[in-house]
């Protein structure tokens, strides 16, 4: 972007422009609906699970400190539960990356189709 006095609004992205009806057509296409359904099927449960699993930590630590102080080996329940948060977060991130490969394939098809419809690129 070296042209002077260039429009800088994000909506004027030089990479792909289309009319509102084109955007609507893409948004209502079966491919796009499949992409959104696939994403939703992973992201919604993953998000809800991680928030609940995380919030359980301060709730238990705050309201049941005696229970969380029960010794397990050299440490206690509170520390183990806190430590488990790290591994659960890493596992969810790993699963997401795996699931996202499928999102990428679906998204690429939509992008290619859109470029083709504008006479290729």
Partner 1 sequence: MSTSLLMFLLFIAVTLGITYWASKRSSGAAAYFAAGRQIKGWQNGIAVAGDYMSAASFLGIAGLIAFFGYDGFMYSVGFLVAYLTVLLLIAEPLRNAGKYTMADVLAYRLQPRPVRAMAAISTLTVSTFYMIAQMVGAGALVALLLKDSGISFHAAVIGVGILMIVYVVFGGMLATTWVQIIKAILLMSGTFLLSILVMAHFNFSLGDFFASVSTVTYHDHGQVVVKDFLQPGLRFKPPYGALDLISLGLALIFGTAGLPHILVRFYTVPDAKTARSSVVWAMVLIGVFYILTTFLGFGAATIVGRDYISSHGGTNMSAPLLAQSLAGNIFFAFISAIAFATILAVVAGLTISATTSFAHDFWTNVIHNGVERKQGEEVLVARISAFVVGAASIAIAVALGPTANVAFLVGLAFAVAASANLPVIVLSIFWRRFNTAGAVAGLEVGLLGSIGLILVSPSLMAVYPPSVVGAARHLIQAKALVPLENPGLVSIPLGFIGAILGTLLSNEKTSEDKFNELLVRSNTGLGSEKASSH
Nearest to partner 1 of 73, 120 (CB atom): 73
CB of 112 to partner 1, least distance (A): 10
Least separation, in Å, of the C-beta of 1 and partner 1? Answer: 6
33-92 residues near partner 1, rule: CB under 8 A: 35-36, 39, 43, 46-47, 50-51, 54-55, 57-59, 61-63, 65, 68-69, 73-76, 78-79, 82-83, 85-86, 89-90, 92
117 lines the binding site for partner 1 (CB under 8 A): no
Measured from the Cβ of residue 75, the count of other Cβ atoms closer than 10 Å reads 11
Q: Does 118 bind partner 1 (CB under 8 A)?
A: no
Q: What is the DSSP string of 19-59?
A: -HHHHHHHHHSHHHHHHHHHHHHHHHHHHHHHHHHHHHHHH
Per CB under 8 A, 30 contacts partner 1: no
Tokens of 103: 């999102």
At 76, phi and psi to the nearest 5? -135, 175
6, two tokens: 């260039």
Q: Can you tell me which of 7, 30, 119, 120 binds partner 1, judged by CB under 8 A?
A: 7
Shortest approach of partner 1 to residue 21 CB, angstroms?
10
Q: Output b/e per residue, 79-104; b: 16+ Cβ within 10 A.
A: eebeeeeeeeeeebeeeeeeeeeebe
């Amino acid at each position: 972007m070296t042209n002077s006095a260039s429009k800088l609004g994000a909506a004027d992205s030089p990479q792909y422009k289309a009319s509102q009806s084109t955007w609507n057509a893409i948004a209502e296409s079966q491919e796009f609906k499949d992409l959104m359904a696939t994403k939703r099927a992973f992201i919604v449960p993953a998000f809800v699970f991680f928030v609940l699993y995380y919030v359980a930590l301060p709730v238990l630590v705050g309201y049941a400190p005696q229970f969380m102080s029960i010794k397990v080996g050299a440490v206690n329940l509170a520390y183990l539960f806190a430590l488990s948060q790290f591994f659960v977060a890493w596992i969810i991130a790993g699963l997401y990356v795996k699931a996202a490969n499928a999102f990428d394939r679906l998204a690429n098809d939509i992008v290619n189709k859109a470029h083709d419809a504008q006479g290729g690129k």
